[in-house]
Amino acid sequence: MLRLWQDAGHGGSDPGATGNGLREKDVNLAIQQKVTARLKGYNVELGQSRTGDATLSLTARTNAANAWQKGTGNHLFLSYHANGFTDPTANGYEDFVHTTPAAASVKAQDAIHRRVAAVFTKHGRRNRGKKRANFHVLRETKFPAVLLEVGFVTNPQDAALLKQDSFLDEVAAAIVQGLVDMYGIKKAATATPAPTPSSGTHTIASGDTFWSLSRRYGVTVDDIRRANPGVDAARLQIGQEVRIPLKDGTPPPKAAPAPKPAPKPKPAPTIRAGSRVKVKQGARDFNGNRLASFVYGMTYSALQISGDRVVIGLSSGQITAAVHRNNLILV
């Protein structure tokens, strides 16, 4: 059993480090949300300093965590941050415990560092090591505490990764695996629901991906790809029909009714340089990569337009991503 207090650094009127179209407070909260989702079903009790975009002092964070502490069992304070520096070449991952840490803090740092640093080095980013500092949240928390710095928003390559939902998933999975290594937390066994019978075709709805369809129908992503040659999994459209193979990988017979005509594409919105826009929920960047979840709730400026490719960013001119104009909403 583990009681884990999660502290998404900064928030509200305090954006933290900024750069390359990113605000540290958004990255921190996105990591916390992904770790929370992955810990669902584990024998872990969770507490959080913030669950939304709230302004909190350092003292408020540690006071809340200390008041939440209960009993003498395993407790851990985990603070999520992203780095920023005047030198844009600074990059990579590092984590901290206090200058005079409890033994349990050091062990937790070792376990988490080993897993998360491996994600960063896999992507060619630096492992900056395990460090110690007299940070308030490490000093004033009355149980083991570790602070993570998950890349530099001021480094273009780190920032490009932090904008990808798939990379944030990797980091969150590594954090959870570090907790498993350290505390032996286990996920309760759940019965696997029977797959929905295949009707031969599936009409794409909002949020559908080949991976989600593979889970729903009890087949693999590769089976679906083989049954749909020529279909770009990164550019599925609502209303599009895809074939669902049988469990042995053989495509089922086509449905008897004649295929429905593809819906007429909506005319592209009139977006010009300087337009205020939001990104449609679930949309990908112009190259088909998933975007970080916090991107969808923010308002951006259209900075550059080349055909259907629109470069968006914060009003300060920092570039966030390039997306297709059809995936933008004028505000």
pLDDT of the residue at 199: 46
pLDDT of the residue at 218: 83
Highest-confidence range of 148-162, 223-237, 261-275, 299-313, by mean pLDDT?
Answer: 148-162
pLDDT confidence band for 253 (50 / 70 / 90)? very low
pLDDT of the residue at 220: 86
Please say if 241 is a catalytic residue: no
Single out the residue of 57, 51, 59, 45 nearest to residue 2, CA to CA: 45
For residues 217 and 251, what is the distance between their CA atoms, to the nearest angstrom? 13
Same fold, 2-183 and 191-264: no
Catalytic residue among 140, 149, 170, 241: 149
| Domain residue limits, the chain | 2-183, 191-264, 276-330
Q: Which CATH architecture has domain 191-264?
A: Roll (3.10)
Instruction: Taking residues 132-145, report their average pLDDT.
Output: 98
The verdict on pTM exceeding 0.95 is no
Q: What is the pLDDT of residues 64-108, one digit of tens each?
A: 999 999 988 999 999 999 999 999 999 999 999 999 999 999 999
The contacts of residue 50 (CB under 8 Å, 6+ apart) are 8, 11, 29, 56
pLDDT confidence band for 161 (50 / 70 / 90)? very high
Say if residues 185 and 43 touch (Cβ distance below 8 Å).
yes
pLDDT of the residue at 190: 64
For residues 230 and 285, what is the distance between their CA atoms, to the nearest angstrom? 20
pLDDT confidence band for 247 (50 / 70 / 90)? low
For residues 150 and 96, what is the distance between their CA atoms, to the nearest angstrom? 11
Higher pLDDT, 150 or 219: 150
Supply the CATH classification number for the domain 2-183: 3.40.630.40
* Enclosing H/E stretch for 29: helix 24-38
